[in-house]
Amino acid sequence: MRELYQQKILIVDDEPINISAIAEILGQKYALSVANNGEKALRILSEGLRPDLILLDILMPDIDGFEVAKQLKANPDTAAIPIIFLTAKKDNESIATGFKVGAVDYLSKPFQKEELLLRIKNTLQIFNLRNALNNALTESQKYIKTIESQMALIDKNIIFSSTDIDGKITEVSNAFCKISGYRKEQLIGKMHRIVRHPDMKASFFDKLWNTITRNETWHGEIKNRKKDGTFYWLETMIYPKYDADGNKTGYTAISHDITDKKRVEELSMTDQLTQIHNRLYLTNSFVREIKRAKRYGFIFAVIMIDIDHFKEVNDTYGHDTGDFVLSAVAKILQSTIRETDILGRWGGEEFLILLPHTDIFEAEKLAEKLRQSVEGYSFDTVGRKTCSFGVSVFNLEEDDCKETLKRADTALYSAKNSGRNRVERLE
């Protein structure tokens, strides 16, 4: 017998066999709608269809799933609809892109029936509860008491905790205990610093505390430490709670586990060979530094680095040895730069360093220190290797990083032509 109300799911896939397989699994439990391409999905949603969940393929002939997701998230009418990507694409870049364009989950084909049903159930459950909480918070603080009474119903699935005015934990859900590794009796009466990860700076929590003590809601991402020393990431909302007379009695935090999402983000920003930042991360860092420079008038410098005669290493000793040299150079550079500097692999045997709040002369001095560090290192098998360095500084009159990189590249080219194992600068 069907339930009086069935949650609605929109399936978007250009392969009839895939649609049939999914419909066979879900048809008895959910009300299904189907679109066999991205354009049709956008059209029927614009015409008023409001599913509780969208199962979206990525590879489609007209508009791919990433673009469909972007357009849905950009539209206020459809932005809140959760999206799960069902796709044969399993690479880290595709997974990272899926989360960036707004997906809440990512399931690779072929998938198991039980896994699909569980992912859908959990997603709908979480989003229904979060929507209920957000609506209640938006309408009025008088609904806080109702929300807290519902906590008992979601204890198993929602990560939440409550504290008194001073921040001592008064209540935690079983989900909180499960993810942190602590029992309730080990948490009650303690401060949240029991799960604080050393990577999170004190200034972060100062801002958080200042927000909630002003009776405002705080929302952000927090890295915590489990009892066994490992870590997990939470997307968290913290808001004040009140008694029946309107007196503030403490704070409630509701969280969502985003550990997998953060791990994928880290993979997408890391060069897999050298384990330093990759070009994508460097490009994003350039954007951030330019915005900071424009706003505060702070200059920053760039060092471009190329390993001298690297082709000879590959030709003589093989690519495995070449990979070893690349990784070793990355470690030398990483151990020599300052804590605030941003190092990444730019491509091939080239590295790039961004140096915030640094002028051309300071950058040149650091580049010389790096040059000496590489020159003084004896690499297994190949012996001594050197690097050439090009240094430039960002001009506040410029709008992007193109000219800065061009100057650094020109300086590097000059260092190469002047005999290699040199530092050249171009302002």
The distance between the two most distant Cα atoms of the chain, rounded to a whole number of Å, is: 82
> What is residue 277's predicted lDDT score, i.e. its pLDDT?
93
**Which pLDDT value is given to residue 155?**
72
| Backbone conformation region of residue 348, classed left if phi is above 0, alpha if psi is from -120 to 50, else beta | left
Structure tokens at 13: 């896939």
- Within 10 A of 351 (CB to CB), how many other CB atoms are there? 28
Q: Check: CB of residue 252 under 8 Å from CB of residue 148.
A: yes
What pLDDT is stored for residue 147 in this prediction?
A: 59
Closest Cα partner for 276 from 330, 231, 318?
Answer: 330
CA 149 from centre of chain: 33
Per-residue pLDDT of the chain (427 residues; tens, 9 = 90+): 444 568 899 999 998 998 898 999 988 889 999 999 999 999 999 998 999 999 999 888 889 999 999 999 999 999 889 999 888 887 888 888 888 888 888 888 888 888 888 888 888 888 888 777 777 666 655 555 565 666 556 677 789 899 999 999 999 999 999 999 999 999 999 999 999 999 898 889 999 999 999 999 999 999 999 999 999 999 999 999 999 888 999 999 999 999 888 888 777 788 989 999 999 999 999 999 999 999 888 889 999 999 999 999 999 999 999 999 999 999 999 999 998 999 999 999 999 999 999 999 999 999 999 999 999 999 999 999 999 999 999 999 888 899 999 999 999 999 999 999 999 999 8
Q: What are phi and psi of 347, to 5 degrees?
A: 150, 140
| Catalytic residue, candidates 289, 349, 364, 424 | 349
Per-residue model confidence (pLDDT) at position 1: 40
Q: Model-level pTM?
A: 0.49
Give the C-alpha separation, 388 to 391, whole Å: 10
List, as one string, the DSSP characters of 64-123. Answer: -HHHHHHHHHHSTTTTTS-EEEEES--SHHHHHHHHHTT-SEEEESS--HHHHHHHHHHH
| Residue environment code for 93-122, b if the CB has 16+ CB neighbours within 10 A, otherwise e | ebbbbbbebbbbbbbeeeeeeeebeebbee
349 is a catalytic site residue: yes
pLDDT at residue 367, rounded to an integer: 97
Instruction: Return the number of other C-beta atoms located less than 10 Å from residue 311's C-beta.
Output: 11
Cβ density class 134-172: b for 16+ within 10 Å, e for less: eebbeeeeeebeebeeebeebbeebbbbbbeeebebebb
Q: Do the Cβ atoms of 65 and 74 come closer than 8 Å?
A: no
Query: Please, are residues 355 and 300 in contact by the beta-carbon 8 Å criterion?
Result: yes
Give 192's DSSP letter.
G
The predicted pLDDT at position 106 comes to: 85
Name the pairing type of β-strands 169-172 and 218-225. Answer: unpaired
Identify the pLDDT of residue 150.
65
The predicted pLDDT at position 355 comes to: 96
Alpha-carbon distance of 293 to 186, in angstroms, equals: 46
Please, what are the domains in the chain? 8-127 (3.40.50.2300), 140-259 (3.30.450.20), 269-425 (3.30.70.270)
Name the amino acid, one letter, at 248: K
Query: Measuring CA to CA, which residue among 316, 315, 314 is closest to residue 326?
Result: 314
Best CA proximity match to 187, nearest among 160, 217, 209, 151: 160
